[in-house]
C-alpha cells in the first residue's frame, strides 16, 4: 500500500471520460496496482479510480512534469498529472483476513426455508430458488391444502419487492400444473405503501422476526 498526498490533475477515459481539475488529493495505490483518488469529502467512493487488474507506469511529460498512467486490460486509462507531492509513504499491510457479515437476505432465506411454518401455519417447503424464465422465486411452498405458494423475501419490504413477486405469480399462474399460486411477501420490516399494494393484489404480508428465527435454529441445534 502506497499513500501519496499531492496536488494533481486526473483524467479518465474508458466507459466514459472524466476530468478532475488540479487540486490537492490523496492517491492510494494498492498492492494489486489499483489506484484510488480521494478528496476530503464525499462518501466512501473515490473521485476517480482504476480497478484491478491494471498496471501503473510512472513517467514524465515533455514539460518535465510527473505523470502516472494506469491502464487496464480493457484499454481504460487513468492519467494523473502531479504538480507537487506533499507526502509519499509505503506500508506493508499483509493479506487481510476479510469481512464477516451477518443479517443479510440470504441468511433470512435459509432460516425461513427451515421454518416455513412461521410464515403461515401448515406451510411446507418445495424448494429454495425455484427457477422461472424471469428469475428464481425465493421459496416455493405448499400450504396445508396442497396449493402452491410463492414466497418473496426481503430485508426491507418495499414496492419493488411486491412488483417482483407479482411478476412471478403472473408467470406461475399460467402453468396449469401449478395454478392457483398465491403469494407471501416476507420481510423484517414492510413499508406501508408496499403493504397496501400487496394487499390490493391479494398478496399476504408476513413480518419476520430475525432474532426469533435464529433462536429457533439455535434451539434445534442443541437437540442434536
Q: Which residues bind DNA (CB under 7 A)?
A: 12, 14-16, 18, 42-45, 48-51, 72, 76, 78, 99, 101, 104-106, 129, 131, 134-135, 154-156, 158-161, 164, 191-193
196 and 218 Cβ atoms separated by less than 8 Å: no
Nearer to its own copies, 38 or 128 (CB): 38
Give yes or no for a contact between 123 and 204, defined as CB atoms under 8 angstroms apart: no
How far is 111 from 132, CA to CA, in rounded Å?
Answer: 22
Q: Which option in DNA, its own copies, none does residue 93 bind, with CB closer than 5 to 8 A by kind? A: its own copies
Residue 184 — φ and ψ, nearest 5°?
A: -125, 130
Cell numbers at 52, concatenated: 484491478
Contact predicate 84/62, CB 8 Å: no
Other Cβ atoms closer than 10 A to 94: 8
Q: Which residue, 119 or 188, has its beta carbon nearer to its own copies?
A: 188
**Minimum CB distance to its own copies smaller for 16 or for 223:** 16
How far is Cα 146 from Cα 144, in angstroms, rounded to an integer?
A: 5
Q: Which residues bind its own copies (CB under 8 A)?
A: 1, 3, 5, 15-21, 23-26, 28, 30-32, 34, 36, 38-49, 51-52, 86-87, 89, 91-104, 133-135, 159-160, 163, 167, 193, 196-197
Specify the length of the chain in residues.
224
CB of 154 to DNA, least distance (A): 6
Which partner in its own copies, DNA, none is near 81 (CB below 5 to 8 A by kind)? none
Q: Which residues contact 170 (CB under 8 A, 6 or more apart)?
A: none
Residue number with CB closer to its own copies (36 or 126): 36
* Residue 205, contacted partner among DNA, its own copies, none, CB below 5-8 A by kind: none
**CB closer to its own copies, 25 vs 152:** 25
Instruction: Report the distance separating Cα 178 and Cα 147, nearest Å.
Output: 8
CB of 107 to DNA, least distance (A): 8
CB of 147 to DNA, least distance (A): 24
Q: In degrees rounded to 5, what are phi and psi of residue 81?
A: -100, 120
Our CB check for DNA shows the closer of 99 and 223 to be 99
Cα distance between residue 86 and residue 5, in whole Å: 5
The one of DNA, its own copies, none whose footprint includes residue 129, by CB under 5 to 8 A per kind, is: DNA
Amino acid at each position: 500500500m502506497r499513500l501519496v498526498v499531492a496536488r494533481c490533475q486526473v483524467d479518465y477515459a474508458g466507459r466514459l471520460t472524466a476530468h478532475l481539475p488540479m487540486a490537492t488529493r490523496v492517491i492510494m495505490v494498492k498492492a494489486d496496482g489499483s489506484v484510488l483518488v480521494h478528496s476530503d469529502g464525499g462518501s466512501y467512493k473515490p473521485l476517480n479510480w482504476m480497478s484491478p487488474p491494471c498496471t501503473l507506469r510512472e513517467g514524465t511529460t515533455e514539460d518535465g512534469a510527473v505523470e502516472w498512467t494506469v491502464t487496464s486490460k480493457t484499454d481504460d486509462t487513468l492519467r494523473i498529472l502531479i504538480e507537487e507531492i506533499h507526502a509519499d509513504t509505503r506500508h506493508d499491510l499483509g493479506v487481510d483476513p476479510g469481512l464477516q457479515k451477518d443479517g443479510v437476505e440470504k441468511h433470512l432465506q435459509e432460516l425461513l426455508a427451515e421454518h416455513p411454518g412461521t410464515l403461515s401455519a401448515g406451510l411446507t417447503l418445495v424448494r429454495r430458488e425455484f427457477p422461472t424464465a424471469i428469475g428464481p422465486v425465493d421459496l416455493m411452498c405448499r400450504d396445508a391444502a396442497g396449493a402452491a405458494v410463492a414466497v418473496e423475501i426481503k430485508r426491507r419490504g418495499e414496492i419493488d419487492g411486491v412488483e417482483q413477486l407479482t411478476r412471478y405469480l403472473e408467470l406461475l399462474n399460467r402453468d396449469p400444473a401449478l395454478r392457483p399460486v398465491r403469494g407471501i411477501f416476507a420481510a423484517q420490516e414492510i413499508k406501508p405503501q408496499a403493504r397496501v399494494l400487496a394487499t390490493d393484489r391479494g398478496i399476504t404480508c408476513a413480518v419476520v422476526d430475525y432474532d426469533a428465527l435464529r433462536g429457533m435454529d439455535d434451539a434445534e441445534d442443541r437437540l442434536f
